[in-house]
Amino acid sequence: MRLSKIYSDGMIIQRNTENIVEGVATPGNEVRLYFDKDIYEGVCDEDGNFTVLLKPMEAGGPHTIDITDNSDRYTIKDVYVGDVFLLAGQSNMELPVSRTLDLYRKDLEGIDYPYIRMFQMPKDFKFGEHDLRTKSGEWLSANEKNVMDFSALGFYFAQIKFDKDSIPVGLVHASVGGTHIEAFMSEERLIKTGKRLKKIAREEGRECVCKCGINDSCKMCYEENIQRNKDDFFVRNTINTEMQRMADWAKKTDEDDIGLKEKWYNHEWDEDEKMGGIEIKIPQSWLYNVLKNRIGTVWVQRVIYVPQEFCERDVELRLGTIVDADMTYVNGALIGQTEYFYPPRRYSLPGGILKNGKNVITVRVIINQHVGEFKEDMPYCIKADDLELPLDGIWNARVAAVEEPIGEFTFFTWHPTALYNRMIYPLRNYRFKSVLFYQGESNTGYPEDYEYLMIDMVKEWRKLFGYKVPFIFARLPYFRGESWEIPGDDWEDLRDAQQRAAEKIEDCAIVELYDLGEYNEIHTQNKKEVAKRFYDEYWMLLRTIERG
């Protein structure tokens, strides 16, 4: 007997509505489902598929589900009835609780919400046929360890809700960073929508020419993109080729890096060594110094003097955000590294790493395609509870390797239909109180199309689920853009498109986040405030729906 992994120990099902349990057993056999003392029956079709419809139930638990077909048995333990929310979108929905610790570390100490649980859908793509069932995943409770991997927005939303009504909350997480809204739509729907978008563009006198890159989606190339990605050889060959290119670039860069060969990280640079480099200001974009066109590796170093109270305790080294990647050393010891530029650099320094007096911090900055940068208006310090040692100011910099740009990579999870097939379609029989959707950043290149895509996605999901599930959308916050880009009006245009769409979608609310944005940080940590606004809109929408 096979069931989707979402039907597993610890699951939460939606209260006050009929719920469906479906799976595969022996063709033609009768299936009997025991929900505690209640008995339900079904029959497997010629392919072994069965569906059992559970009656509406009040919130509570724990319950046990036993399913038998005379030759096999499947048991689901610790089942609760509560409110279930589908979390979908891109990185600002995906952003884990662990990335919000600058703001909420103390709030999370010892946290334990056994009745808030999250199921992570597989973060993978599929082209062509839909997945009928989810083959991996488990329900995890929000304790101090597990919660670090929860969607931060999802968890803080659930926390607010549970603290108000004590009803179990299930979160089904189906978001992937960087993805376009087209990834959440089916082939049939998207091709139909694309034809409509081209018709509208012609009527409005807009140019109908594809200008998107390898990871973009636009109305001119939906069909071509979908058909190409159905070729499994093309997809796998692309992935293997690009992975090899990445490995080759890293290998050559390491081999060329003088700093690695001469171990620039294990000593304070003398005056002769400093003469081979320059002084730079941190934080600052390298657009403003001689390193602006540098691809390869640049090492930066600073000597600081540390008082005794920082030395015999665990402290945190905060190095803002570094473009593109880094390896960071303190007194010759590698204390952390990050492979790409979005995550904030927060490196733990165990007691004993720092010494009373002189200490040397050395950072190997790896620039593979963007302009190097230590982002401004970020924390650069050593932090010990309420004590801080600032690290901003003048650092020494030395070029260690000069390379060609690594080039772009294909992220198939961002492509049309990729997530609908693997993340959304397998949930067609699960019941949700609402969908929380935070997406749009990756569609700002084509904001004129977003209104129609957003409306059509909602139509498709509601048809798939078989009921008018409420939607709560994030309206994008303020963001100026990365420092190497020229800011435009695309974000404002997309925000307007989101507003127009929300006004046309029934049982829908939109969450205004403009004032919570930061000019140089696309992934703000203030997800608890974002969650509060989501909850407020959700609560008002439900009251509106109940009043008809």
Residue 207's pLDDT band, with cuts at 50, 70 and 90, is confident
* Secondary structure (3-state) at 325: strand
Percent of the chain predicted with pLDDT > 70: 99
What's the pLDDT score for residue 216?
86
Domain boundaries defined on the chain: 80-185+426-546, 257-402
Q: How far is CA 88 from CA 83, 126, 152, 295, in A?
A: 16, 17, 12, 35
Does domain 257-402 fall under CATH 2.60.40.1120? My reply is no
Residue 486 has pLDDT above 70, yes or no: no
Q: Could you report the per-residue pLDDT of 187-196, keeping only the tens digit for each?
A: 999 999 999 9
In the predicted structure, residue 31 carries a pLDDT above the cut 80: yes
CA distance between the termini of the chain: 42
- The residue whose two tokens read 């003048």 is 394
What is the tens place of the pLDDT at every residue in 75-110?
A: 999 999 999 999 999 999 999 999 999 999 999 999
Distance in angstroms (rounded) separating the CA atoms of residues 25 and 364: 56
Contacts for 537 with CB less than 8 Å, ≥ 6 apart: 472, 509, 510, 511
Residue 182 near residue 229 (C-beta atoms within 8 A): no
Give the C-alpha separation, 401 to 516, whole Å. 39
Q: What are the residues facing 240 on neighbouring strands?
A: none
Interval 370-413: pLDDT, tens: 999 999 999 999 999 889 999 999 999 999 999 999 999 999 99
What is the dotted CATH code of the domain comprising 80-185+426-546?
Answer: 3.40.50.1110
Q: What's the confidence (pLDDT) of residue 484?
A: 66
pLDDT (mean) for 233-250: 97
Tell me the per-residue pLDDT of 254-304, one tens digit each, with 9 for 90 and over: 999 999 999 999 999 999 999 989 999 999 999 989 999 899 999 999 999
Residue 67 has pLDDT above 60, yes or no: yes
Q: How confident is the model at residue 483 (pLDDT cuts 50, 70, 90)?
A: confident
Query: What's the rounded Cα separation, in Å, for the pair 200 and 203?
Result: 5
pTM score over 0.85: yes
The mean pLDDT of 24-53, rounded to a whole number, is 95
**How far is Cα 546 from Cα 544, in angstroms, rounded to an integer?**
5
Contacts of 298 (CB under 8 A, 6+ apart): 291, 365, 367, 372, 397, 398, 399, 400
On the question of a common fold for 80-185+426-546 and 257-402, the answer reads no
> Phi/psi at 305 (nearest 5 deg)?
-110, 125
Q: Estimate the crossing angle of helix 101-108 against helix 527-546, to 10 degrees.
A: 70
pLDDT at 183 over 60: yes
Structure confidence at residue 481 (pLDDT): 80
pLDDT of amino acid 219:
93
Q: Which of 104, 106, 1, 82 is nearest to 48 (CA)?
A: 1
Tokens of 340: 């790409």
- Residue that has been written with the tokens 């008082």 in this structure: 307
The residue type at 477: P
463-473 pLDDT tens trace: 999 999 999 99
Residue 437: predicted pLDDT: 98
Please provide the average confidence, as pLDDT, over all residues in the chain: 95
